[in-house]
């Protein structure tokens, strides 16, 4: 077994069972991509078994902190089974579920979602790439399914020195699937859709938006960065009189309109704009056009902390504009999925945006990812999605 020896003082995070070991923390030692290494302190104390990644700044990711643990096929069978078993305790109202959530489930770099009878997996680190076939078989055995589609096309694979790859890893079948979520349905394409096909992490937020629409009976709703219309359908199902949806992708808008029709919702209650969100918000402000509820669910502006300052300006701008066109008593659902923006910083950004817009509001709720996208005690970086529900005074 190859050994990685850390520099003095660099063992502290591992003693707290944080799974990442950065390049600069390592004094000596190397291994092949994905190979399991023994990680030791500068004094030779065992710290963890980890997967080595010679191309990444995160040079190793811990599999286990138990010196007696063997990292073999049995380890992956047990770890996959434990993660999948835990999902049965979450009370998820959908046939679309995140089964494996990377570091939070002890499998760094692995994302697995279930859509009905099909699994979709992303292998984004050298460690899970090396064990891909074992993991694929373990997933199918734990779920009793036969179809597994690979979506290893995330940009993070390049940081691991891995080429992007997609396609059927086990079995084959349709890539157009039907997602059942709460009281509505959404068409999902696992080969072309964002992430593994859809944003399952916003499942609970869509339900809360439905609840607000049902209770407050909004007349005019604006859904920005609408993608394929998850919030649009939730709002219309909740009783919103009309929802305007904006996205810069024509194909996504077409799918959003199809999802409205799929749920038997009147087409005249929805309108779709193929446009830039910032420009549209400014145009609405100039026109004096206002809304009773606005959803801001933008793409990732800050993938890392290094991008946080520039991203903060972008988040502030869209929230400032949204506040300007939000009716008094109206509700803003605003989100950031940027790992480089903390929940505390996002709150400050939204507060600053309100001040610049001359608007105050009540923070009704703080939102996060659905429970099948867990953050753990030892890995706070798992909290990438954060949101606020603000009612304008």
**209 closest CA partner among 273, 127, 292:** 292
Question: What is the structure's pLDDT at 115?
Answer: 98
Q: Quickly list DSSP for 166-213.
A: EEEEES---SEEEEEETTEEEEEETTTSSTTSS-GGGHHHHHHHHHHH
| Residue found by looking up tokens 């109206």 in the block | 330
DSSP H or E run through 328: strand 326-336
CB 365 within 8 A of CB 325: no
The tens digit of pLDDT for each residue in 57-74 reads 999 999 999 999 999 999
CA distance linking residue 240 with residue 229, whole number of Å:
14
At 196, list the tokens.
């593994």
Residue 192: pLDDT above 80? Answer: yes
CA distance linking residue 205 with residue 387, whole number of Å:
9
CB 323 within 8 A of CB 281: no
CB 135 within 8 A of CB 152: no
The tens digit of pLDDT for each residue in 199-258 reads 999 999 999 999 999 999 999 999 999 999 999 999 999 999 999 999 999 999 999 999
| Residue 294 vs residues 30, 207, 281: alpha-carbon distances, Å | 51, 15, 11
Question: What is the structure's pLDDT at 389?
Answer: 98
Q: Which residue has the higher pLDDT, 279 or 383?
A: 279
Question: What is the structure's pLDDT at 307?
Answer: 74
Q: Quickly list DSSP for 56-81.
A: SSEEEEEEES-TT---SHHHHHHHHH
Average model confidence (pLDDT) across the chain: 96
CA distance linking residue 370 with residue 217, whole number of Å:
25
Question: What is the structure's pLDDT at 276?
Answer: 96
Residue 119's region, left for phi above 0, alpha for psi from -120 to 50, else beta, is beta
**pLDDT-based confidence at residue 339 (cuts at 50, 70, 90):** confident
Residue 82: pLDDT above 80? Answer: yes
Phi first, then psi, for residue 241 (nearest 5°) are -65, -40
> Could you tell me how far CA 289 lies from the centroid of its own chain?
32
CB 96 within 8 A of CB 198: yes
CA distance linking residue 260 with residue 271, whole number of Å:
10
Q: Quickly list DSSP for 7-28.
A: PTTTTHHHHTT--EEEGGGEEE
pTM (two decimals): 0.94
Residue ranges in 325-381 assigned as alpha helix (H): 343-357
The set of catalytic residues is 337
**pLDDT-based confidence at residue 150 (cuts at 50, 70, 90):** very high
**pLDDT-based confidence at residue 302 (cuts at 50, 70, 90):** low
Residue 75: pLDDT above 70? Answer: yes
């Amino acid at each position: 077994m190859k050994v990685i020896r850390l520099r003095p003082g660099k063992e502290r995070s591992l003693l707290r069972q944080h799974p990442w070991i950065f390049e600069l923390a390592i004094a000596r030692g190397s291994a092949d991509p994905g190979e399991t290494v023994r990680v030791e302190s500068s004094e030779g104390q065992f710290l963890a078994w980890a997967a080595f990644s010679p191309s990444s700044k995160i040079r190793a990711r811990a599999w286990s902190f138990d010196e007696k643990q063997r990292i073999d096929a049995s380890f992956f069978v047990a770890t996959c089974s434990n993660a999948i078993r835990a999902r049965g305790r979450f009370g998820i109202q959908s046939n679309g579920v995140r089964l494996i959530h990377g570091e939070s489930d002890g499998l760094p770099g692995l994302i697995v979602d279930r859509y009905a009878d099909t699994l979709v997996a992303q292998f984004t680190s050298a460690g899970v790439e090396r064990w891909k076939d074992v993991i694929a078989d373990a997933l199918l055995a734990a779920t009793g399914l036969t179809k597994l589609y690979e979506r290893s096309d995330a940009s993070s694979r390049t940081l691991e020195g891995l080429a992007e790859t997609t396609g059927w890893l086990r079995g084959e079948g349709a890539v157009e699937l039907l997602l059942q979520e709460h009281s509505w349905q959404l068409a999902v394409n696992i080969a072309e859709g964002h992430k593994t096909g859809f944003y399952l992490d916003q499942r609970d937020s869509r339900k809360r938006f439905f609840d607000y629409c049902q209770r407050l009976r909004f007349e005019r709703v604006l859904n920005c960065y609408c993608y394929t219309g998850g919030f649009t359908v939730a709002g219309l199902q909740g009783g919103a009189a009309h929802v305007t949806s904006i996205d810069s992708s024509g194909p996504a808008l077409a799918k959003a309109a199809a999802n409205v029709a799929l749920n038997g919702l009147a087409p005249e209650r929805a309108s779709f704009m193929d446009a830039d969100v910032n420009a549209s918000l400014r145009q609405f402000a100039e026109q004096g056009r206002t809304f009773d509820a606005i959803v801001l669910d933008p793409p990732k502006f800050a993938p890392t902390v290094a991008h946080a300052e520039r991203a903060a300006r972008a988040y502030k701008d869209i929230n400032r504009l949204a506040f300007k066109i939000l009716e008094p008593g109206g509700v803003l659902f605003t989100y950031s999925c940027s790992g480089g923006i903390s929940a505390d910083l996002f709150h400050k950004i939204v507060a600053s945006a309100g001040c610049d817009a001359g608007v105050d509001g009540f923070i009704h709720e703080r939102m996060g990812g659905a429970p099948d996208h867990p953050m753990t005690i030892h890995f706070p970086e798992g909290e990438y999605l954060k949101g606020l529900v603000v009612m304008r005074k």
